[in-house]
Chains A and B, each alone.
Chain A
Amino acid sequence: MIKTIFYLASAFVGIYLNVWYMLLILENRSRLLVKEKAKRLPKVSVLIPARNEEKNIADTLKSVLNLDYPKNKLEVIAIDNGSTDMTSKIVKTFKRVILLSERRPGKSYALNKGLSVATGEIIGTLDADTLVDKGCLKKTVGYFKDKNVGAVTNFVKVEDEKGLLGKFQTIEYAFSAMTKKLISFLNSMYVAPGTLSLLRKDIVQEIKYSNDTLGEDMDMALSITKKGYRVVNSLDAVSYTRIPKNLKNLFKQRIRWYRGFIENTIKHSDLMLNRKFPHIGFFIFPIAYVTTFIGICFLALLILESASSIQIFIKNFLYIPVSDQVNLAYKNLLTFDAILFSPYYLISFMFIFSTSFALLLYSLKSLSLARKTDIVLLPLYMLGYYFLIMIFWCSAFFMELFRWKKRW
Chain B
Amino acid sequence: MVKLNIYVKTFLVSMGIFLIGILIGMGVENYLTSDFASRTNYVEESVREIELEMLYFQDLNETYSCNFLSEIVRRTNNNLDELSGQLLKYSESNVLFGGTDIENLKTILYFYDKSGCGDCVIQGSILSILKDSFKEKVMIFPLDTKVGLTMIGILMDRFNVTSVPSLVIEEKTYSGIVVGEALKRISCDIIDENITTCS
Identify the A interface with B (CB < 8 A): 8, 11-12, 15-16, 19-20, 23-24, 27, 186, 278-279, 282-283, 312, 315-316, 318-320, 324, 327-328, 331-332, 334-335, 338, 342-348, 351
B67 within 8 A of A: no
0 or 1 for each of B82-107: is its CB under 8 Å from A? (1 = yes): 00000000001010000000000000
- Docked CA distance A204–B126 (Å): 68
Q: Could you list 18 further interchain pairs (A-B, Cβ under 8 angstroms) beyond the known A331-B94, A347-B25? A: A8-B22, A19-B10, A20-B10, A278-B1, A279-B3, A312-B122, A312-B125, A315-B122, A316-B122, A316-B125, A327-B129, A328-B129, A343-B25, A343-B26, A343-B28, A344-B22, A344-B26, A351-B21
Secondary structure type dominating chain A contacts: helix
The number of chain B residues touching the other chain, given as a range, is 20 to 34
A347 touches B6 (CB 8 A): no
What are 14 A-B residue pairs whose CB atoms fall within 8 Å in the complex?
A8-B22, A15-B18, A20-B10, A23-B13, A186-B3, A282-B7, A312-B125, A320-B129, A324-B132, A328-B94, A338-B92, A343-B28, A344-B25, A346-B21
- Docked CA distance A71–B94 (Å): 73
B168 to A: closest C-beta gap in Å:
20
**A335 proximity list for chain B (CB < 8 A):** 92
Contact residue among B11, B21, B129 (Cβ-Cβ distance under 8 Å from A324):
B129
**B4 proximity list for chain A (CB < 8 A):** 278
**A318 proximity list for chain B (CB < 8 A):** 180
Interface centre among A278, A319, A327 (most CB of B within 10 A): A319
A265 to B: closest C-beta gap in Å:
19
B198 within 8 A of A: no
- Docked CA distance A16–B18 (Å): 9
Chain B residue at minimal CB-CB distance from A18: B14
A16 touches B11 (CB 8 A): yes
- Docked CA distance A316–B130 (Å): 14
B101 to A: closest C-beta gap in Å:
27
A-B contact count (CB 8 A): 84
**A16 proximity list for chain B (CB < 8 A):** 10-11, 14
A328 touches B125 (CB 8 A): yes
Contact residue among A12, A316, A328 (Cβ-Cβ distance under 8 Å from B18):
A12
**A327 proximity list for chain B (CB < 8 A):** 129
B94 touches A23 (CB 8 A): no
- Docked CA distance A342–B20 (Å): 15
**A23 proximity list for chain B (CB < 8 A):** 6, 9-10, 13
- Docked CA distance A221–B46 (Å): 75
A307 to B: closest C-beta gap in Å:
15
- Docked CA distance A285–B34 (Å): 46
B49-70 interface (Cβ within 8 A of A):
none
Contact residue among B13, B18, B129 (Cβ-Cβ distance under 8 Å from A348):
B18
